[in-house]
Amino acid sequence: MLLRRMLLFLSRQRFLEEFFRKNHFGSRAKKRFVAGETRLEALNTTYRLNREGFKVTLDYLGEEVSAAQDAAAAVEEYTALVRDLARENLDAGLSVKLSHLGVRVDPDLAFENLLQVLNTAREYDRFVRVDMEGSDLTEITLDLVHRAHAQYKNIGTVIQSHLRSSGEDLDHLVREGIPVRLVKGAYLENANVAFQNREDTLLSFMRLAETLLKEGQQPAIATHDEKLIEFASDMAFIFGLDESDFEFQMLYGIRRTLQAELLSKGHRVRIYLPYGKDWYGYFMRRLAERPANLWFLLRHLRE
Ligand code: FDA
Protein backbone atom coordinates (compact mmCIF):
# COMPACT_ATOMS: atom_id res chain seq x y z
CA MET A 1 0.00 0.00 0.00
CA LEU A 2 2.84 2.35 0.92
CA LEU A 3 4.66 1.50 -2.31
CA ARG A 4 1.48 2.06 -4.30
CA ARG A 5 1.04 5.50 -2.70
CA MET A 6 4.67 6.34 -3.38
CA LEU A 7 4.40 5.35 -7.07
CA LEU A 8 1.18 7.32 -7.47
CA PHE A 9 2.86 10.32 -5.85
CA LEU A 10 5.80 9.95 -8.27
CA SER A 11 3.40 9.72 -11.22
CA ARG A 12 2.75 13.42 -10.68
CA GLN A 13 6.43 14.38 -10.29
CA ARG A 14 7.56 15.19 -13.78
CA PHE A 15 11.28 15.43 -12.88
CA LEU A 16 11.50 11.61 -13.14
CA GLU A 17 10.11 11.62 -16.64
CA GLU A 18 13.40 12.59 -18.29
CA PHE A 19 15.18 9.79 -16.46
CA PHE A 20 12.69 7.21 -17.74
CA ARG A 21 12.75 8.65 -21.22
CA LYS A 22 16.54 8.43 -21.54
CA ASN A 23 16.94 5.09 -19.83
CA HIS A 24 15.99 1.92 -21.67
CA PHE A 25 13.44 1.48 -18.89
CA GLY A 26 11.48 3.69 -21.25
CA SER A 27 11.40 1.41 -24.25
CA ARG A 28 10.54 -1.59 -22.07
CA ALA A 29 7.71 0.33 -20.44
CA LYS A 30 6.36 1.34 -23.82
CA LYS A 31 6.49 -2.16 -25.26
CA ARG A 32 4.63 -3.55 -22.27
CA PHE A 33 1.74 -1.08 -22.01
CA VAL A 34 1.70 1.22 -25.05
CA ALA A 35 1.18 0.64 -28.80
CA GLY A 36 4.07 2.97 -29.65
CA GLU A 37 4.74 6.67 -30.00
CA THR A 38 3.09 7.20 -33.39
CA ARG A 39 -0.43 7.05 -34.80
CA LEU A 40 0.72 4.55 -37.39
CA GLU A 41 1.84 2.14 -34.64
CA ALA A 42 -1.50 2.63 -32.90
CA LEU A 43 -3.40 1.88 -36.11
CA ASN A 44 -1.33 -1.24 -36.77
CA THR A 45 -1.94 -2.55 -33.26
CA THR A 46 -5.65 -1.74 -33.54
CA TYR A 47 -5.78 -3.68 -36.81
CA ARG A 48 -4.13 -6.68 -35.14
CA LEU A 49 -6.45 -6.55 -32.11
CA ASN A 50 -9.53 -6.23 -34.33
CA ARG A 51 -8.41 -9.26 -36.32
CA GLU A 52 -8.17 -11.22 -33.07
CA GLY A 53 -11.76 -10.19 -32.31
CA PHE A 54 -11.23 -7.32 -29.84
CA LYS A 55 -12.78 -3.90 -30.01
CA VAL A 56 -10.48 -1.02 -29.16
CA THR A 57 -10.56 2.38 -27.50
CA LEU A 58 -7.57 4.57 -28.34
CA ASP A 59 -5.98 6.96 -25.88
CA TYR A 60 -3.64 9.57 -27.35
CA LEU A 61 -1.40 9.91 -24.30
CA GLY A 62 -1.19 13.27 -22.59
CA GLU A 63 -2.51 14.91 -19.45
CA GLU A 64 -2.21 17.99 -17.28
CA VAL A 65 -1.44 20.33 -20.17
CA SER A 66 -0.83 23.90 -19.06
CA ALA A 67 -0.92 25.70 -22.41
CA ALA A 68 -3.83 26.16 -24.80
CA GLN A 69 -1.71 25.20 -27.82
CA ASP A 70 -0.91 21.78 -26.30
CA ALA A 71 -4.64 21.17 -25.88
CA ALA A 72 -5.20 22.28 -29.49
CA ALA A 73 -2.53 19.80 -30.62
CA ALA A 74 -4.41 17.01 -28.81
CA VAL A 75 -7.64 17.96 -30.61
CA GLU A 76 -5.83 17.93 -33.91
CA GLU A 77 -4.38 14.48 -33.24
CA TYR A 78 -7.74 13.06 -32.14
CA THR A 79 -9.47 14.43 -35.24
CA ALA A 80 -6.81 12.97 -37.51
CA LEU A 81 -7.08 9.69 -35.65
CA VAL A 82 -10.85 9.49 -36.13
CA ARG A 83 -10.44 10.01 -39.87
CA ASP A 84 -7.75 7.33 -40.09
CA LEU A 85 -9.85 4.85 -38.10
CA ALA A 86 -12.77 5.41 -40.44
CA ARG A 87 -10.63 5.22 -43.59
CA GLU A 88 -9.07 1.93 -42.42
CA ASN A 89 -12.47 0.67 -41.29
CA LEU A 90 -11.18 -0.17 -37.80
CA ASP A 91 -13.48 -1.03 -34.90
CA ALA A 92 -12.31 1.56 -32.38
CA GLY A 93 -13.45 4.60 -30.46
CA LEU A 94 -11.59 7.24 -28.48
CA SER A 95 -10.69 7.77 -24.84
CA VAL A 96 -9.86 11.37 -23.92
CA LYS A 97 -8.79 13.17 -20.76
CA LEU A 98 -10.10 16.64 -20.01
CA SER A 99 -6.74 17.68 -18.53
CA HIS A 100 -5.29 16.88 -21.98
CA LEU A 101 -7.95 19.05 -23.61
CA GLY A 102 -7.00 21.99 -21.39
CA VAL A 103 -9.36 21.91 -18.41
CA ARG A 104 -6.57 23.19 -16.12
CA VAL A 105 -6.03 26.12 -18.46
CA ASP A 106 -9.71 27.02 -18.80
CA PRO A 107 -12.78 24.76 -18.45
CA ASP A 108 -14.57 26.63 -21.28
CA LEU A 109 -11.65 25.95 -23.59
CA ALA A 110 -11.69 22.25 -22.65
CA PHE A 111 -15.43 22.15 -23.33
CA GLU A 112 -14.97 23.70 -26.78
CA ASN A 113 -12.17 21.23 -27.49
CA LEU A 114 -14.32 18.32 -26.35
CA LEU A 115 -17.18 19.44 -28.61
CA GLN A 116 -14.78 19.62 -31.53
CA VAL A 117 -13.61 16.04 -30.94
CA LEU A 118 -17.21 14.88 -30.49
CA ASN A 119 -18.28 16.60 -33.67
CA THR A 120 -15.69 14.89 -35.85
CA ALA A 121 -16.26 11.59 -34.05
CA ARG A 122 -20.01 11.81 -34.72
CA GLU A 123 -19.37 12.55 -38.38
CA TYR A 124 -17.51 9.23 -38.59
CA ASP A 125 -19.83 7.35 -36.23
CA ARG A 126 -17.29 7.00 -33.40
CA PHE A 127 -17.81 6.93 -29.64
CA VAL A 128 -15.82 9.19 -27.30
CA ARG A 129 -15.20 8.13 -23.70
CA VAL A 130 -14.10 10.83 -21.28
CA ASP A 131 -11.69 9.15 -18.86
CA MET A 132 -11.95 10.02 -15.18
CA GLU A 133 -8.88 11.58 -13.56
CA GLY A 134 -8.10 12.58 -9.96
CA SER A 135 -11.02 13.59 -7.71
CA ASP A 136 -10.21 17.30 -8.04
CA LEU A 137 -11.52 16.92 -11.62
CA THR A 138 -14.52 14.64 -10.97
CA GLU A 139 -17.13 17.37 -10.63
CA ILE A 140 -16.01 19.39 -13.65
CA THR A 141 -15.67 16.22 -15.74
CA LEU A 142 -19.20 15.10 -14.91
CA ASP A 143 -20.53 18.60 -15.49
CA LEU A 144 -18.92 18.91 -18.94
CA VAL A 145 -19.99 15.39 -19.92
CA HIS A 146 -23.63 16.10 -18.95
CA ARG A 147 -23.55 19.37 -20.91
CA ALA A 148 -21.92 17.81 -23.96
CA HIS A 149 -24.42 14.93 -23.91
CA ALA A 150 -27.23 17.44 -24.48
CA GLN A 151 -25.76 17.96 -27.99
CA TYR A 152 -23.83 14.76 -28.68
CA LYS A 153 -25.03 11.24 -27.92
CA ASN A 154 -21.70 9.65 -28.86
CA ILE A 155 -20.22 10.46 -25.43
CA GLY A 156 -19.73 8.44 -22.27
CA THR A 157 -17.60 8.65 -19.17
CA VAL A 158 -16.08 6.67 -16.31
CA ILE A 159 -17.07 6.03 -12.69
CA GLN A 160 -14.45 5.01 -10.11
CA SER A 161 -15.64 2.62 -7.42
CA HIS A 162 -13.09 3.84 -4.85
CA LEU A 163 -14.77 7.27 -4.66
CA ARG A 164 -17.43 7.65 -1.98
CA SER A 165 -19.56 9.88 -4.21
CA SER A 166 -19.76 7.40 -7.08
CA GLY A 167 -23.19 5.93 -6.20
CA GLU A 168 -24.90 9.28 -6.65
CA ASP A 169 -22.85 10.18 -9.71
CA LEU A 170 -23.66 6.87 -11.38
CA ASP A 171 -27.40 7.25 -10.66
CA HIS A 172 -27.36 10.66 -12.33
CA LEU A 173 -25.51 9.37 -15.42
CA VAL A 174 -27.81 6.36 -15.71
CA ARG A 175 -30.92 8.59 -15.45
CA GLU A 176 -29.59 10.69 -18.33
CA GLY A 177 -28.77 7.60 -20.42
CA ILE A 178 -25.04 8.41 -20.54
CA PRO A 179 -22.90 5.28 -21.07
CA VAL A 180 -20.54 4.47 -18.20
CA ARG A 181 -17.31 2.50 -17.92
CA LEU A 182 -16.89 1.24 -14.35
CA VAL A 183 -13.34 1.04 -12.91
CA LYS A 184 -11.80 0.82 -9.45
CA GLY A 185 -9.86 4.11 -9.75
CA ALA A 186 -6.17 4.64 -10.46
CA TYR A 187 -5.36 7.92 -8.66
CA LEU A 188 -4.06 8.69 -5.21
CA GLU A 189 -6.98 9.95 -3.07
CA ASN A 190 -7.54 10.98 0.55
CA ALA A 191 -9.74 9.07 2.98
CA ASN A 192 -12.36 11.83 3.00
CA VAL A 193 -13.16 11.23 -0.68
CA ALA A 194 -12.14 7.62 -1.32
CA PHE A 195 -12.13 4.19 0.31
CA GLN A 196 -8.64 3.30 1.42
CA ASN A 197 -8.83 -0.47 1.43
CA ARG A 198 -9.37 -3.01 -1.32
CA GLU A 199 -12.42 -4.67 0.25
CA ASP A 200 -14.45 -1.45 0.40
CA THR A 201 -13.50 -0.61 -3.19
CA LEU A 202 -14.46 -4.12 -4.24
CA LEU A 203 -17.85 -4.00 -2.51
CA SER A 204 -18.51 -0.59 -3.99
CA PHE A 205 -17.59 -1.94 -7.45
CA MET A 206 -20.12 -4.75 -7.03
CA ARG A 207 -22.90 -2.41 -5.96
CA LEU A 208 -22.18 -0.03 -8.84
CA ALA A 209 -21.86 -2.87 -11.37
CA GLU A 210 -25.29 -4.11 -10.33
CA THR A 211 -26.87 -0.69 -10.97
CA LEU A 212 -24.98 -0.22 -14.21
CA LEU A 213 -25.87 -3.63 -15.63
CA LYS A 214 -29.49 -3.35 -14.53
CA GLU A 215 -30.22 0.19 -15.69
CA GLY A 216 -27.24 1.58 -17.64
CA GLN A 217 -26.76 2.24 -21.34
CA GLN A 218 -24.05 0.09 -23.00
CA PRO A 219 -22.48 -0.89 -19.65
CA ALA A 220 -18.71 -1.34 -19.69
CA ILE A 221 -17.07 -3.31 -16.88
CA ALA A 222 -13.38 -2.43 -16.89
CA THR A 223 -11.28 -4.63 -14.65
CA HIS A 224 -8.73 -7.46 -14.73
CA ASP A 225 -10.07 -8.82 -11.47
CA GLU A 226 -11.51 -12.28 -12.11
CA LYS A 227 -13.84 -12.15 -9.10
CA LEU A 228 -15.44 -8.98 -10.43
CA ILE A 229 -15.63 -10.32 -13.96
CA GLU A 230 -17.42 -13.42 -12.69
CA PHE A 231 -19.73 -11.28 -10.55
CA ALA A 232 -20.60 -9.05 -13.53
CA SER A 233 -21.23 -12.07 -15.80
CA ASP A 234 -23.59 -13.55 -13.19
CA MET A 235 -25.43 -10.24 -12.76
CA ALA A 236 -25.77 -9.82 -16.51
CA PHE A 237 -27.25 -13.31 -16.73
CA ILE A 238 -29.69 -12.62 -13.88
CA PHE A 239 -30.82 -9.38 -15.57
CA GLY A 240 -31.35 -11.23 -18.84
CA LEU A 241 -28.61 -9.42 -20.78
CA ASP A 242 -26.94 -11.19 -23.63
CA GLU A 243 -23.28 -10.83 -24.58
CA SER A 244 -23.90 -7.93 -26.96
CA ASP A 245 -25.71 -5.83 -24.30
CA PHE A 246 -22.55 -5.06 -22.30
CA GLU A 247 -18.80 -5.31 -22.62
CA PHE A 248 -15.68 -6.03 -20.64
CA GLN A 249 -12.77 -3.64 -21.05
CA MET A 250 -9.11 -4.25 -20.24
CA LEU A 251 -5.85 -2.41 -20.63
CA TYR A 252 -3.48 -3.26 -23.46
CA GLY A 253 -0.81 -5.72 -22.33
CA ILE A 254 -2.48 -6.74 -19.07
CA ARG A 255 -3.81 -10.27 -18.52
CA ARG A 256 -3.82 -11.20 -22.19
CA THR A 257 -4.85 -14.81 -21.49
CA LEU A 258 -7.89 -13.63 -19.59
CA GLN A 259 -8.76 -11.23 -22.42
CA ALA A 260 -8.66 -14.09 -24.92
CA GLU A 261 -10.65 -16.37 -22.61
CA LEU A 262 -13.49 -13.86 -22.34
CA LEU A 263 -13.57 -13.49 -26.10
CA SER A 264 -13.72 -17.24 -26.56
CA LYS A 265 -16.71 -17.38 -24.19
CA GLY A 266 -18.52 -15.03 -26.56
CA HIS A 267 -18.15 -11.79 -24.57
CA ARG A 268 -17.50 -8.43 -26.13
CA VAL A 269 -14.04 -7.30 -25.05
CA ARG A 270 -12.60 -3.85 -25.67
CA ILE A 271 -8.91 -3.12 -25.26
CA TYR A 272 -7.81 0.30 -24.00
CA LEU A 273 -4.87 1.10 -26.22
CA PRO A 274 -2.62 4.09 -25.45
CA TYR A 275 -0.10 5.62 -27.83
CA GLY A 276 2.03 8.73 -27.99
CA LYS A 277 5.16 10.18 -26.47
CA ASP A 278 3.68 11.30 -23.16
CA TRP A 279 3.49 7.88 -21.51
CA TYR A 280 5.05 8.68 -18.11
CA GLY A 281 1.90 9.30 -15.99
CA TYR A 282 0.08 6.36 -17.56
CA PHE A 283 3.06 4.07 -17.05
CA MET A 284 3.50 5.05 -13.38
CA ARG A 285 -0.16 4.33 -12.64
CA ARG A 286 0.28 0.85 -14.17
CA LEU A 287 3.31 0.29 -11.92
CA ALA A 288 1.31 1.38 -8.88
CA GLU A 289 -1.46 -1.11 -9.67
CA ARG A 290 1.02 -3.95 -9.56
CA PRO A 291 4.29 -3.10 -7.86
CA ALA A 292 5.64 -6.49 -9.06
CA ASN A 293 6.00 -4.71 -12.44
CA LEU A 294 8.58 -2.50 -10.76
CA TRP A 295 10.78 -5.45 -9.79
CA PHE A 296 10.55 -6.74 -13.35
CA LEU A 297 11.80 -3.41 -14.66
CA LEU A 298 14.47 -3.00 -11.98
CA ARG A 299 15.90 -6.38 -12.91
CA HIS A 300 16.36 -5.12 -16.47
CA LEU A 301 17.81 -1.75 -15.49
CA ARG A 302 21.34 -3.14 -15.52
CA GLU A 303 21.02 -4.77 -18.98
P1 FDA B 1 -6.58 -5.23 -9.66
O2 FDA B 1 -5.66 -4.06 -9.60
O3 FDA B 1 -6.96 -5.89 -8.40
O4 FDA B 1 -6.00 -6.26 -10.68
C5 FDA B 1 -6.47 -7.59 -10.81
C6 FDA B 1 -5.36 -8.41 -11.43
O7 FDA B 1 -5.07 -7.93 -12.75
C8 FDA B 1 -4.03 -8.30 -10.67
O9 FDA B 1 -3.95 -9.27 -9.65
C10 FDA B 1 -3.02 -8.52 -11.78
O11 FDA B 1 -2.91 -9.90 -12.04
C12 FDA B 1 -3.67 -7.87 -12.97
N13 FDA B 1 -3.26 -6.46 -13.12
C14 FDA B 1 -3.97 -5.35 -12.82
N15 FDA B 1 -3.26 -4.24 -13.09
C16 FDA B 1 -2.07 -4.65 -13.56
C17 FDA B 1 -0.91 -3.98 -14.04
N18 FDA B 1 -0.83 -2.66 -14.06
N19 FDA B 1 0.13 -4.71 -14.47
C20 FDA B 1 0.07 -6.07 -14.47
N21 FDA B 1 -1.01 -6.78 -14.03
C22 FDA B 1 -2.06 -6.08 -13.59
N23 FDA B 1 -8.84 4.37 -13.86
C24 FDA B 1 -9.22 5.65 -13.66
O25 FDA B 1 -9.03 6.17 -12.56
N26 FDA B 1 -9.82 6.36 -14.67
C27 FDA B 1 -10.07 5.82 -15.88
O28 FDA B 1 -10.62 6.48 -16.77
C29 FDA B 1 -9.68 4.47 -16.10
N30 FDA B 1 -9.89 3.85 -17.30
C31 FDA B 1 -9.64 2.49 -17.42
C32 FDA B 1 -10.01 1.82 -18.59
C33 FDA B 1 -9.87 0.45 -18.66
C34 FDA B 1 -10.29 -0.27 -19.92
C35 FDA B 1 -9.35 -0.28 -17.55
C36 FDA B 1 -9.22 -1.77 -17.59
C37 FDA B 1 -8.96 0.39 -16.42
C38 FDA B 1 -9.07 1.77 -16.35
N39 FDA B 1 -8.67 2.46 -15.21
C40 FDA B 1 -9.05 3.76 -15.05
C41 FDA B 1 -7.77 1.79 -14.22
C42 FDA B 1 -8.53 1.20 -13.05
O43 FDA B 1 -9.02 2.22 -12.22
C44 FDA B 1 -7.62 0.30 -12.20
O45 FDA B 1 -6.58 1.06 -11.66
C46 FDA B 1 -7.02 -0.87 -12.96
O47 FDA B 1 -7.94 -1.44 -13.84
C48 FDA B 1 -6.54 -1.97 -11.98
O49 FDA B 1 -7.62 -2.47 -11.26
P50 FDA B 1 -8.33 -3.90 -11.56
O51 FDA B 1 -9.78 -3.69 -11.46
O52 FDA B 1 -7.85 -4.45 -12.83
O53 FDA B 1 -7.97 -4.82 -10.34
pLDDT single digits (tens) 140-190: 999 999 999 999 999 999 999 999 999 999 999 999 999 999 999 999 999
Give the global pTM: 0.95
pLDDT, position 296: 65
Q: Would you call 21 a catalytic residue per the annotation?
A: no
pLDDT above 90: residue 214: yes
pLDDT, position 66: 94
Pocket of ligand 1 contains residue 249 by CB under 6 Å: yes
Spot the catalytic one: 126, 129, 181, 285. Answer: 181
| pLDDT tens digits, 217-239 | 999 999 999 999 999 999 999 99
Strand pairing partners for 269? 248
3-class secondary-structure state, position 36: coil
* Over residues 117-121, mean pLDDT: 98
Q: Would you call 181 a catalytic residue per the annotation?
A: yes
Q: Which of 12-16, 132-136, 142-146 has the lowest mean pLDDT?
A: 12-16
Q: Angle formed by the axes of helices 280-289 and 2-10, to 10°?
A: 180
Rounded Cα gap, residues 298 and 104, in angstroms: 34
pLDDT, position 137: 98
Strand pairing partners for 123? none
CA atoms within 13 A of residue 297's CA, in its CB half-sphere: 22
DSSP symbol at 254: S
- Residue of 60 and 277 predicted with greater confidence: 60
Neighbouring C-beta atoms of residue 281, cutoff 10 Å: 22
C-alpha separations of 249 from 82, 116, 182, 232, 272 in Å: 20, 26, 9, 12, 7
Going from the Cα of 112 to the center of ligand 1, the distance in angstroms, rounded, reads 30
- Residue of 298 and 136 predicted with greater confidence: 136
Going from the Cα of 97 to the center of ligand 1, the distance in angstroms, rounded, reads 17
Pocket of ligand 1 contains residue 255 by CB under 6 Å: yes
Residue type, 171: D
pLDDT grade, residue 293 (50/70/90)? confident
DSSP3 helix / strand / coil % (the chain, rounded to 5): 55, 15, 30
Residue nearest to atom 43 of ligand 1 (CA): 185
pLDDT grade, residue 303 (50/70/90)? very low
pLDDT above 90: residue 87: yes
- Which residue among 251, 272, 279, 286 is best mutated to probe the pocket of ligand 1, counting the most ligand atoms within 8 A of its Cβ? 251
- Which residue among 247, 290, 294, 296 is best mutated to probe the pocket of ligand 1, counting the most ligand atoms within 8 A of its Cβ? 290
Q: What phi and psi, each to the nearest 5 degrees, are found at residue 271?
A: -100, 130
Spot the catalytic one: 59, 104, 129, 131. Answer: 131
Going from the Cα of 224 to the center of ligand 1, the distance in angstroms, rounded, reads 6
Residue type, 198: R
pLDDT, position 25: 65
